[in-house]
């Protein structure tokens, strides 16, 4: 599965004035479909960048969602740190998890 990243659009209007999200989130893509996300630090004390991937989940009556988020314990100081971490472990992530692909 080919790895790529896509920075999401910046907020506009009143939401762009919010200090809670100073940077846009970054999509993690596998074969051009979103399979995960890099979350930016917020202005409310959380200063680390975080990584999550969407993993296929068998829908049930109680939980009809076809995927679940798996957040890694790794946190980075910058977007580049997190991108490098994902790149270095991409083959292991693809091998270990059945990644859910979001359709646009």
pLDDT tens track for 22-43:
678 899 999 999 999 999 887 6
Indicate whether 103 pLDDT > 90: no
The domain tally of the chain equals: 1
Task: Find the helix or strand (DSSP H, E) in which 68 lies.
Answer: strand 67-76
Residue 43: inside a domain: yes
Please give the Cα distance from 35 to 66 (Å, whole number): 13
pLDDT band of 18, cuts 50, 70, 90: low
Residue 68: inside a domain: yes
Domain range enclosing 33: 3-96
43-75 residue pLDDT tens: 667 789 999 999 999 988 988 999 999 999 999
* Mean pLDDT, rounded, for 79-83: 95
């Amino acid at each position: 599965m080919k790895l790529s990243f896509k920075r999401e659009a910046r907020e506009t209007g009143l939401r762009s004035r919010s200090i809670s999200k100073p940077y846009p989130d970054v999509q993690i893509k596998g074969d051009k479909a979103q399979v995960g996300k890099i979350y930016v630090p917020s202005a409310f004390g959380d200063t680390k960048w975080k990584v999550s991937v969407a993993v296929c989940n068998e829908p049930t009556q109680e939980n009809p969602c076809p995927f679940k988020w798996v957040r890694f314990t790794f946190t980075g100081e910058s977007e580049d740190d997190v991108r490098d971490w994902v790149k270095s472990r991409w083959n292991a992530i693809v091998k270990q998890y059945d990644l859910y692909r979001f359709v646009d």
